[in-house]
Amino acid sequence: MLPWIQLDSAKVPGDTAELRLKQRGSEFSIMLGANELMNSRLSGSEEALATLAAERLAHQKRPVVLIGGLGMGFTLRAALAVLPVEAEIIVAELVPEVVAWARGPMADVFKGSLDDPRVTVHVGDVGALIKASKTRFDAILLDVDNGPDGLTRTSNDSLYDHGGLRAALLALRPKGVLGVWSSGPDDRFTRRLRECGFSAEALSVRASTKRSGARHVIWMAVKP
């Protein structure tokens, strides 16, 4: 079996955490300590984050979508595949090196998606962008942690508390969608979404594009 090779590392701004990009043959992995944040072989649930949101935006001819977390681009590529040509997609990525990895060693994984004219990359904190926006987005899709808590950096907790969820509500247009990816369920987060004014459901989806294997959770929360 081929060994893993570390290609690069990057400090997470505003935190002591460090991301590590690893490669084994054609497979890539992004690690945070002992936690694997993403793997190029497992894209099913990240793709579902985009497709489930797009189903709820079918009435919008020119949707504006914010994706929090570039990762390996699976959510972005799925969004490009299902959203109309008039759509606008903003990808907010906190770590500049992740964008460089997408254009460098992982270019084959991204398949040119960053060059699509519908896409704008915002290098910065998605939480700050949300708080600075009022009724701007038709969907906000968050895949920046392993669930509704600040794994990547502790300050990300504010994305998922009552204040962060109310900011997301204000940033969305009427009938807008907040989608949140998680490695597992969290009933308390479902309650928080509803307490903040969303109609919310937690959906179980496959981690892989195959019909077997582990499951992840995606929240679809819709603004009235």
pLDDT, tens digit (0-9, with 9 covering 90-100), for 178-187: 999 998 999 9
Look at residue 139 and tell me whether its pLDDT is greater than 80: yes
Is residue 43 within 8 A of residue 72, CB to CB? The reply is yes
Flag whether pLDDT at 212 surpasses 70: no
Give 82 or 209, the one with higher predicted confidence: 82
157 phi and psi angles, rounded to 5 deg: -55, -30
Q: What's the confidence (pLDDT) of residue 199?
A: 98
**What is the rounded CA–CA span in Å between residue 96 and residue 99?**
5
Confidence of residue 206 (pLDDT cuts 50, 70, 90): confident
Calculate Rg over the CA atoms of the chain. Answer: 16
Quote the tokens at residue 219.
């929240």
3-state secondary structure of 27: strand
pLDDT digits (tens, 9 = 90+) for 35-71: 898 999 988 999 999 999 999 999 999 999 999 999 9
- Kindly indicate the confidence band of residue 6, based on its pLDDT and cuts at 50, 70 and 90: very high
Sign of CA dihedral 164, 214, 47, 221: negative
- Which range, 23-32, 201-210, 211-220, has the best average confidence (pLDDT)? 23-32
| Count of all residues that appear for the chain in the document | 224
What's the rounded mean pLDDT across residues 114-128? 97
* pLDDT of 151: 52
pLDDT computed for residue 153 by the predictor: 46
pTM, to two decimals: 0.94
C-beta separation of 13 from 22 below 8 A? no
Rounded mean pLDDT, 129-140:
98
State percent of the chain over pLDDT 90.
Answer: 82
Q: Residue 34 has what pLDDT?
A: 86
Within 13 A of 120's CA, how many CA atoms are on the CB side? Answer: 9
CA distance 211 to 22: 27
Residue-wise pLDDT tens digits, 150-174: 454 455 788 999 999 999 999 999 9
Q: Is the pLDDT of residue 188 over 50?
A: yes
